[in-house]
Chain A
Amino acid sequence: MLWLCIQFPKLPLEVLTRAQRGGAESHAQAVVEQQLIVDANQTAAERGVETGLTIATACALCANLQLLQRDSQREDQQLQQLAQWGYSFTPVVSPQAAGSVDAGDDHFACLYLELSGCLKASGGLQPLLQQLKRELRQMRISCFMGLGHSPSAARMLSQLPEHRQWLRETQAPPSPQQWRQWISFSPSKLLDCDNKTIAKLYACGIKRVSQLLAIPLSEVGSRFGRNFVDYLARLNGTRHDPVPSYQPPPEFHSELFFPSPLDNSEQLLFPAGRLVRELCQQLQRRQLYSHQLRWKLDFGQQGCKVFSVEVSRPLLDAQRLIALTKLQLERIKLEQPIQALSLTCDQLLPMEQDKLDDDLFGKDTQVQRSHQLLDKLKARLGHEALSGVTLKESYLPEQAWQSADTLVLQSNRRKKGHQLQPINAPRPTWLLSRPDKLHSREHKLFYRGEIKLLQGPERIDGYWWQHGRHGRDYYIARGEEGGLYWVFQDLTSEDWYLHGVYA
């Protein structure tokens, strides 16, 4: 077993400020929980603001300090997301939330990854670690790491500077002997136990773990209790060290929070791009795709606005998804400043080989291009502006067609089974959405001048068994200027109507 522990020391601050652009580092910011500073950014730290100070002291040290309330819920969400990210490297992942200030527990949030199974796929230990670090840097999350034969050991060693130094240069995982050396070398304060126990250890003169291990276990047990002995055994690797295993949810959800609300949809593009890239990475690793991207603009107290981007084919190209999102954003008028932006994909479907959009050489085929066009049109004009037409079986002319979903367009395979045949009679190319009543005077019909009947009648008498009878005599008529029209006389009311145009 090879466990990697990634600790996130600045998570409380980073979940709140991650959405800002790089330039925002310049002013001092600190996260506060229960009147105490939890975390401070670089600028604030330079002025002496550090964890554990009261707000009053911090403000005295740094007058223009911006205070942000700690948001544990958001931190949890972020940690879940990080676990999902970690899941793309190895199937054995376990997140551990940060301790809260009031419990007196100040350990950082961390993530355990079991690496022994994925070293080969990632090309060795060092490339894997580099990749993890690089991706965390892209997500703007700072971290430090430790490697161990059990989660407890990895966690302890991640705090040991010598181990971290080694980790930066190593090529291969260490031998069991090396681990034992590091563990014995570690100072006792790095042990994961409460402050009272550590004080007791130091009172006994046990400054290094090696001194502790030299004492017989029964002696340690009687002094520090059974739990502590258990912990030592897990640290040593003599006992199993179980951690809760993480299972990724079947959907994607990610959220960005803006400390200073945005009021311009153009400003949204940058954070939206970041979310889309995160999504694409996740999907690609898990070999899934999504048909619908649901965006939520959160206005805080004033509610929220949801819009969705639909993709007709599996698409993992972040650039194209961003372009589609941009088209939607252009349609939206922002009435209130936006406080948070979130991206959700409810249904993630497994990718099938033949469904993947890009072929090996990146060439667009005709079908792909038409899909891209449809997506673009849908994104800007809305779903309802696009339609197709199909035949329908009916005697009534206005019911012999129906507007089809545009998705029908995409199947270039012929539908099997029963095919509807159009009626074998001259029908107009244009149909009026509702029949236009014609003026008639002295047995003459008028539509932009007088019209004369050429052919007819063709009697269509349908639905007499139902409530409203539709009995009509259809004629082809010609107008004064040569236009051919399809007109009918209603048999019940004897009124004349224009129903179609032979264009």
Chain B
Amino acid sequence: MSNAENLLQNNQLADPSKQQRLSQLLARPDIWQAANEHKRQRGGIASGFSSLDALLTGRGWPRGATTELLVNQSGIGEISLLLPALAELTQREQMVVLVNPPFIPYAPALASAGVQLEKLLIIHPRGQKDELWATEQALQSGCCGALLSWQGRQAPVDKDLRRLQLAAREGDCLHFHFRPQSCAASPSPASLRLQLGSDGDQLAVQLLKQLGGQSGQRLHLARSADLVRRDQPLH
């Protein structure tokens, strides 16, 4: 056998292990291949809005990742956007944690949206340090289905956001982070960033960033007809 033939055979032998390594690499969630687009796992958690699901790569909220929701003012339907997913998670016996919500979560509204109230945990840590600690602990515990956190007065630094994103991946937890729209310009490690605004009776959603998918699309979601129905004014 000539030298060249030998080399060729060696190469062929080495091939399977290389192939394996390559496929391991390609299986990573943060590597996106255009060719495999149709084969990708649809691992997301359905948001309950089919038009929104169609835009998201996982056909739903990305699991084990941070989703940033940029909202300037509450009341435009930002929680209603999440409620179907939260209801689904609590019905699957998973915990949903709210860290420092700006108001009292009103039990009758949540219950009528289908949220199992006994699976809802509200924590009020004092100070940013405790808040970040509690958020990280809850995210990585592996027993929370979703965690909602609101940015306090002080914007967390990039390092902390990255830690939370990693914690969410470790604990396979949906992390929704509400931030003001002024943060839109600053980079963030979140895998999905949505800017929420109001447009008439509708909730306007703009995809600012999506890991492994397209971004820039706009979407209008109608609010519940019960809410926006206009009665004849009495006064």
User: Footprint of B on A, CB under 8 Å?
Assistant: 364, 366-367, 369-370, 372-374, 376-377, 380-381, 385-392, 397, 400-404, 406, 408-409, 411-412, 422-424, 426-433, 443, 448, 453-457, 476, 478-479, 481-485, 500-503
Residue from A369, A388, A453 within 8 A of B233 (CB atoms): A453
Residues of B within 8 A of A431 (CB): 103-106
Q: Do residues A385 and B125 form an inter-chain contact, with CB atoms below 8 A?
A: yes
B170 within 8 Å of A (CB atoms): no
Residues of A within 8 A of B31 (CB): none
Residues of B within 8 A of A374 (CB): 121
Residues of B within 8 A of A501 (CB): 74-75, 103
Known: A389-B122, A483-B198, A500-B103. 13 other contacts (CB 8 A): A364-B142, A370-B95, A372-B141, A380-B130, A381-B125, A387-B124, A389-B107, A392-B107, A430-B105, A430-B106, A455-B229, A502-B77, A502-B223
Looking at B1-9, B131-139, B186-194, the stretch in contact with chain A turns out to be B131-139
The chain A residue sitting closest to B137, CB to CB, is: A376
Q: Do residues B123 and A500 form an inter-chain contact, with CB atoms below 8 A?
A: no
Residue from B77, B79, B102, B112 within 8 A of A422 (CB atoms): B112
A-B pairs with beta carbons under 8 Å apart, 24 shown: A377-B134, A387-B123, A388-B118, A389-B107, A389-B110, A390-B118, A409-B120, A422-B107, A422-B111, A423-B112, A426-B224, A429-B80, A430-B74, A430-B101, A453-B233, A454-B231, A481-B72, A483-B73, A483-B76, A484-B75, A484-B223, A484-B227, A500-B106, A503-B76
CA distance A424 to B108 in the complex (A): 9
Q: Which 6 A-B pairs have the closest CB atoms?
A: A482-B198, A483-B75, A401-B107, A430-B103, A370-B143, A503-B79
Quick one: given A484-B77, A502-B77, are A391 and B117 in contact (CB under 8 Å)?
A: yes
B228 within 8 Å of A (CB atoms): yes
B93 within 8 Å of A (CB atoms): yes
Q: Do residues A429 and B83 form an inter-chain contact, with CB atoms below 8 A?
A: yes
Q: Do residues B109 and A456 form an inter-chain contact, with CB atoms below 8 A?
A: no
The chain B residue sitting closest to A421, CB to CB, is: B111
Quick one: given A385-B124, A430-B104, A482-B199, are A390 and B117 in contact (CB under 8 Å)?
A: yes
How many residue pairs, one in A and one in B, have C-beta atoms under 8 Å apart? 188
Q: Do residues A426 and B226 form an inter-chain contact, with CB atoms below 8 A?
A: yes
Residues of B within 8 A of A476 (CB): 227
Quick one: given A373-B137, A431-B104, are A426 and B121 in contact (CB under 8 Å)?
A: no
Residue from B141, B144, B227, B230 within 8 A of A502 (CB atoms): B227
The chain B residue sitting closest to A503, CB to CB, is: B79
Residues of B within 8 A of A478 (CB): 228
User: Would you give the shortest CB distance from A503 to chain B, in whole angstroms?
Assistant: 4
Residues of B within 8 A of A482 (CB): 75-76, 197-200
CA distance A428 to B234 in the complex (A): 22
User: Would you give the shortest CB distance from B23 to chain A, in whole angstroms?
Assistant: 29
Residues of B within 8 A of A500 (CB): 103, 106
CA distance A335 to B69 in the complex (A): 44
Q: Do residues B118 and A427 form an inter-chain contact, with CB atoms below 8 A?
A: no
User: Would you give the shortest CB distance from A432 to chain B, in whole angstroms?
Assistant: 6
Q: Do residues B141 and A370 form an inter-chain contact, with CB atoms below 8 A?
A: yes
B38 within 8 Å of A (CB atoms): no
The chain A residue sitting closest to B226, CB to CB, is: A426
Q: Which of B182-235 contact A (CB under 8 A)?
A: 197-200, 223-224, 226-231, 233-235
Residues of B within 8 A of A503 (CB): 74-80, 103
The chain B residue sitting closest to A478, CB to CB, is: B228
CA distance A25 to B158 in the complex (A): 50
Q: In this complex, which of B74, B77, B107, B200 has the most chain A Cβ atoms within 10 angstroms of its Cβ?
A: B107
CA distance A426 to B118 in the complex (A): 21
User: Would you give the shortest CB distance from B106 to chain A, in whole angstroms?
Assistant: 4
The chain A residue sitting closest to B109, CB to CB, is: A427
Q: Do residues A429 and B227 form an inter-chain contact, with CB atoms below 8 A?
A: no
Quick one: given A380-B130, A389-B105, A429-B105, are A484 and B228 in contact (CB under 8 Å)?
A: yes
The chain A residue sitting closest to B104, CB to CB, is: A431
Residue from A385, A392, A427, A485 within 8 A of B123 (CB atoms): A385
B179 within 8 Å of A (CB atoms): no
Q: In this complex, which of A409, A411, A502 has the most chain B Cβ atoms within 10 angstroms of its Cβ?
A: A502
Q: Do residues A406 and B121 form an inter-chain contact, with CB atoms below 8 A?
A: yes
Q: Do residues B75 and A485 form an inter-chain contact, with CB atoms below 8 A?
A: yes
User: Would you give the shortest CB distance from A243 to chain B, in whole angstroms?
Assistant: 52
| Chain B 68-99 interface mask (CB, 8 Å, partner A; 1/0) | 00001111111110010000000001110000
CA distance A412 to B92 in the complex (A): 11
User: Would you give the shortest CB distance from A171 to chain B, in whole angstroms?
Assistant: 50
User: Would you give the shortest CB distance from B119 to chain A, in whole angstroms?
Assistant: 7
Residue from A387, A391, A409 within 8 A of B111 (CB atoms): A391
The chain B residue sitting closest to A401, CB to CB, is: B107
Q: Do residues A381 and B142 form an inter-chain contact, with CB atoms below 8 A?
A: no
CA distance A427 to B198 in the complex (A): 19
Residues of A within 8 A of B28 (CB): none
The chain B residue sitting closest to A402, CB to CB, is: B107
Residues of A within 8 A of B228 (CB): 454, 478, 484
Residues of B within 8 A of A481 (CB): 72-73, 76, 198
Quick one: given A484-B227, A501-B103, A502-B75, are A429 and B109 in contact (CB under 8 Å)?
A: yes
B126 within 8 Å of A (CB atoms): yes
Q: Do residues B107 and A433 form an inter-chain contact, with CB atoms below 8 A?
A: no
CA distance A503 to B72 in the complex (A): 12
The chain B residue sitting closest to A413, CB to CB, is: B118
